[in-house]
Amino acid sequence: MPEISRFFGIVIKMFFDDHNPPHFHASYGEEEALIEIRTLTVFAGQLPPRVLGLVIEWATLHQQELMGDWQRGQNKQSLVKIAPLR
């Protein structure tokens, strides 16, 4: 699963040809959540509240880029790295 961003110990990844809905995986330590790109809601797993807040802030800034990577992944094309939250 390619890593597309990393910030504050949070790792953002996306699988190639993954199941719908369009989403990304955010992990922090041993915890992981799957976050839908269009609604920015968690539909599986969990993260600490503060970490989830940072992930949602980052995803809000990069929602179009995330959808672009989702489309590339569905077409088995290389994913593009996305700038971290600073």
Encode pLDDT of 8-34 as tens digits. 999 999 998 889 999 999 999 999 999
pLDDT score of 4 more than 90: yes
Q: Which domain holds residue 49?
A: 3-74
81 inside domain? no
Q: Quote the pLDDT of residue 1.
A: 66
Instruction: Tell me the per-residue pLDDT of 37-86, one tens digit each, with 9 for 90 and over.
Output: 999 999 999 999 999 999 999 999 999 999 999 999 999 999 999 999 99
Distance, first Cα to last Cα, the chain: 24
CA distances from 23 to 32, 61, 86 (A): 13, 15, 22
> Would 86 be classed as within a structural domain?
no
Whole-angstrom distance, CA of residue 86 vs CA of residue 84: 6
CA atoms within 13 A on the CB side of 77: 9
Q: Structural domain tally of the chain?
A: 1
Instruction: Give me 82's structure tokens.
Output: 């996305």
Q: Measure the CA–CA gap between 6 and 13, rounded to whole angstroms.
A: 9
